[in-house]
Structure 1
Amino acid sequence: MSLFRKKSIADLVRGTQGGAGLRKTLGATDLVLLGIGCIIGTGIFVLTGVAAAKYAGPGIMLSFVLSGLACAFAALAYSELSSMVPVTGSAYTFTYVSMGEIVAFAVGWALICEYTIGSAAVAAGWSGYMVGLLKSMGIVLPQAWTAVPADGGILNVPAVLITAFLSYLLMLGTRESANLNKILVAIKLACIAIFLFLATPHIEPLNWHPFLPFGWSGVSAGAAIVFFAYIGFDTVSTAVEECKNPNRDIPVGIVGSLIVCTILYIAVAAVLTGVVPYSSLNNSEPVAYALRAIGMNFGSALVAIGAICGITTVLLVFMYGQTRIFLAMARDGMIPQSLVKIHPKYGRPHIITLVAGGVVSVLSGLLPINIIAELCNMGTLFAFILVAVGVGVLRKTQPDAERPFRCPAVKIVVPMAVLLCGYLIANLPRETMEFFAAWYVIGMIVYFTYSRKNSAMAPKENDFSQKG
């Protein structure tokens, strides 16, 4: 059936050769830092406190373990498929090879939702931290130009400016973006280390009792929330075309960044809930609050700087991943192919970068920040499930295909990835399900009115039919 027409790995690789290919400039270290740059940000600086106060209490540590396990199983699947299919596009491309076009479009549509809404929300969060830091320095910006209309403002200018700047940076090239990312990752990791060093001696074990005030259901609900804090490791796989040695570097980048971030998340969660009562962490700056609670006011400024750096790297990598998903879908005719044009000087998809950056700028400048993290989680978890299923499908349909990285214990990893991701989806709010369903209705309209007939696979299918 044409709805399930598949692309071969050989065709995908050939499609990146010649003028359409991207320059190979990234190594394993770049990819680990790329993953850390996106993973550590809004989650560790905001969601840790909110999830502990409202859902899990000190058990938030277990929530991070649960979410981390789901990501670990999905990461192994991502690593195998990205080594088999060394083409940009992440879960979208993997699904095109394993389960066919309409399923791939569904995944790509979910990723567009994840990256676009996620980028806009992160940009708005960046604006809030920057405005707060400037205010602490005696610089007060007019509310009209720092708030969205729903909050009594006109336009969130800082959010628009940071989005525009990062779009320009991404258009210049990945090497320039990666260099900035390294600096920002180093700064935010240093700030997290300072927090742990300053706060750990002030831990009061009594604050960890009761450890599960909301029971296991609270841990599960907390895991569904803090999963947002892990979004980002999958972005590493979108950089596969720009890797010097993708078969080695992609698995190292994915698994390495996930391990580092999981350890840091658990450490920060343990210290936060040990320093102050978990019920007091329901605010937008739990790390800074904890430092003030132990009398270290100077630490608040350090944390603010670290948060700004952290959120900047998240936004940078979200926008990077967004453009690469658009690039892959444009190549396949799912969206207008004119968007796939590569800049002759910089070797980057400049049209897609500018269009995507413009959309994110508008959303972040005009919409309130309460675009819930659960919506991003829904799109990501959906993609993770299909990637895991794709590994199992390809093991059956293409058992002899070259696999530079083989997912270990695949008969355990694939079911566990599906079950854990499905479990987290089941713990998301009903409103998230409804919005996601509406988004997919729009997506199916786009697919059946444009994408299906303009698909790069359609001419081949028609030619084959005529020859038959």
Structure 2
Amino acid sequence: MLQLLLATKTRQELLQGDAHGAALTRSLTTWDLLAIGVGSTVGTGVFSITSQVAAQQAGPAVLLCWCAGGAGCMLSALAYMELSARLPVAGSVYAFAYHALGEVFAVVGAGCITLEYGISASAVAANWGDKFRTLVASLGAPSFASHLTTKIGPATLSFPALVVLLLVTALVYVGGDLGKRFARVSSALAVLLILLMVAAAMTKFQAEHFDPFVPPEFGPAGVMSGCVTTFFGFLGYDEVCCMAGEAVEPQKSVPRAVLGTVFIATLLPALGSVALVGFLPCSDIDANSGFEVAFRQRGWTFLSHMVSIGELIVLFVVTYMCFLAQPRVFYALSMHDLLPRRFRDLDEHGTPWFATLWTGLLLVACGALLPFSTLANAISGGVCVAFNLVNCSLIVMRGERVAVRHLGVALVAFNLFSFLAAVLLQHGGQGLLAWSRIASVACSIVTLLALVLLARQLGASQDGGQGEEAFYRVPYVPWIPCCAIVFNNVMLSSLKAQDFLLLAVYLLLVVCPYLAATLCRFKKRRHSTVEVSLAAEAR
């Protein structure tokens, strides 16, 4: 049974996985991948997270938060860059974990990125519906806006969100050149809108709004909290790697697109934070709609409405980009018989049409039934788990080349104790403060020892092997991926207990059917082995 759970796929098996059916069409250039990455990341950061952090957590230091979040994201992005060049197939973390860690970890990874792509697409569509109703009401039709939602038991169904999901499903289903053109044009439009907002706000820039840079009421703790919040504004850059199975020259185009996406996703919100704080004192910034309310307070009604409409456009783009990756995840699962074979069916454009239709049905159902306000942090936690799986996969792949002993034990110890140290530092109770600090120091020491063990044994893996293909390689392994794991664990430890519980329940719902199916496979294999043995004895 354990052998089945930890079964891995070789690189050749993953690359030749399309032997079961038609292969995805490789038609995405670096610019196409960059458009997908930028379109899935930049909107949320500028339109909502910047104003929230500036008003409630860090003040003018929101700029520092974005820079720190970008640096932390880049640590994991480096691992994505190497692994997507090594394994340019659909599935992203699912494929990486299947190759390095085993099938059960691949299933966990697939569940985590389904949270990031599929469930998030429903959440963004629901947010689009709320923004649309607010805009309609502000334009003088509050009665019409009130009829755009209806109650279904405890859940609220938004008709605008439903329309958005149906439109996105149709757009992804059509695929081909239309989808590529839409990705390019919409991402460029989103970036242009953000730059126009920044330029308009900078015309009234006042440097005194940045004094003090870290307001006393927030302090370093507020800046740390802001870093956690801004980190979640980068989620989606890894979608580029999920599309690697359709990339032209993936060894070059995917790493470039990932690097460009993280850079732009850091630069634009940083510019937006400077412009917003310079335009309006942090005490006057609206936490939910920073730029829109700021322009309205100045009497710039046209710009205020333009921002509201632009936000709808950007949220639609984000919904499309998140949706785009999910059928590729289902396709990858189907290629290895973890989903029915129909999910690998492709149309004449190379689009997984059956997986796309089922994704649309799934997201419409999620949009009607799930309370996204309580799921947001659990989604972010799932993404952190996925990031850690990617970094662990990189370390294991490097370790395989130099036959590292006890690699799994050291890696599990590093992950577990670095997470415990972060939890104890952030959530140590007042009455147990001294004990929590002692336990945190002990966990940190074990973490450091595990890192030293990994570093000593992985030193020989820094050089490329003879006959290896030329592709991007992360320097200073395991130091960089281990730093990324620590950073991700700090982000994870910031979640509340109910968020961890929701994430654990979701992952159990993902893994339990897989475990049941694996148990059936194990029994069938054992039964067939017994039959073969009996037949051999009969001869």
One-letter code of the match for 1:246? P
Secondary structure, aligned partner of 1:149: strand
Aligned to 2:333: 329
For 2:171, which of 165, 169, 172 is the aligned residue? Answer: 169
Contact (CA 8 Å) 1:33, 1:182: kept in 2 or not? yes
* Residue pairs, 1:59-458, within 5 angstroms: 59-138=61-140, 142-143=144-145, 145-149=147-151, 155-213=157-215, 214-343=218-347, 345-398=348-401, 400=465, 401-402=468-469, 404-450=471-517, 453=520
Contact (CA 8 Å) 1:87, 1:93: kept in 2 or not? yes
What is the Cα deviation at residue 5 of structure 1?
Answer: 0.8
- State percent identity of aligned pairs: 26
Paired with 1:287 and 1:356, the residues of 2 have a C-alpha distance of 34
What is the Cα deviation at residue 454 of structure 1?
Answer: 6.1
One-letter code of the match for 2:45? G
Q: Which has the higher contact order (CA 8 A, sep 6+)?
A: 1
Contact (CA 8 Å) 1:133, 1:304: kept in 2 or not? yes
What is the Cα deviation at residue 392 of structure 1?
Answer: 1.2
Aligned to 2:428: none
What is the Cα deviation at residue 111 of structure 1?
Answer: 1.4
What is the Cα deviation at residue 142 of structure 1?
Answer: 3.1
34-43 or 391-400: bigger deviation: 391-400
394-403 or 44-53: bigger deviation: 394-403
What is the Cα deviation at residue 204 of structure 1?
Answer: 2.5
Aligned to 2:43: 41
One-letter code of the match for 1:274? G
TM-score (normalizing by structure 1):
0.91
One-letter code of the match for 2:377? E
Paired with 1:150 and 1:434, the residues of 2 have a C-alpha distance of 25
| Aligned CA distance change for structure 1 residues 311 and 154 (closer, same or farther; 3 Å) | closer
Which ranges in structure 1 are unaligned for 5 or more consecutive residues? none
Superposed CA offset, 1:4-59 (max 9, x none): 11000101111125733111111001111111000112232112212222222222
For 2:56, which of 46, 54, 57 is the aligned residue? Answer: 54
Paired with 1:96 and 1:426, the residues of 2 have a C-alpha distance of 26
389-398 or 402-411: bigger deviation: 402-411
What is the Cα deviation at residue 116 of structure 1?
Answer: 2.6
Superposed CA offset, 1:281-300 (max 9, x none): 34432111122233322111
| Aligned CA distance change for structure 1 residues 95 and 294 (closer, same or farther; 3 Å) | same
Q: CA RMSD in A?
A: 2.7
Paired with 1:219 and 1:48, the residues of 2 have a C-alpha distance of 13
Paired with 2:194 and 2:359, the residues of 1 have a C-alpha distance of 31
Secondary structure, aligned partner of 1:20: coil
Contact (CA 8 Å) 2:375, 2:502: kept in 1 or not? no
| Aligned CA distance change for structure 1 residues 33 and 359 (closer, same or farther; 3 Å) | same
What is the Cα deviation at residue 318 of structure 1?
Answer: 0.5
What is the Cα deviation at residue 135 of structure 1?
Answer: 4.0
Superposed CA offset, 1:45-77 (max 9, x none): 112212222222222222212221121011110
Paired with 2:481 and 2:370, the residues of 1 have a C-alpha distance of 38
74-83 or 320-329: bigger deviation: 320-329
Contact (CA 8 Å) 2:379, 2:503: kept in 1 or not? no
Paired with 2:520 and 2:474, the residues of 1 have a C-alpha distance of 36
Paired with 1:140 and 1:440, the residues of 2 have a C-alpha distance of 41
Paired with 2:313 and 2:156, the residues of 1 have a C-alpha distance of 26
Paired with 2:55 and 2:177, the residues of 1 have a C-alpha distance of 40
What is the Cα deviation at residue 132 of structure 1?
Answer: 3.4
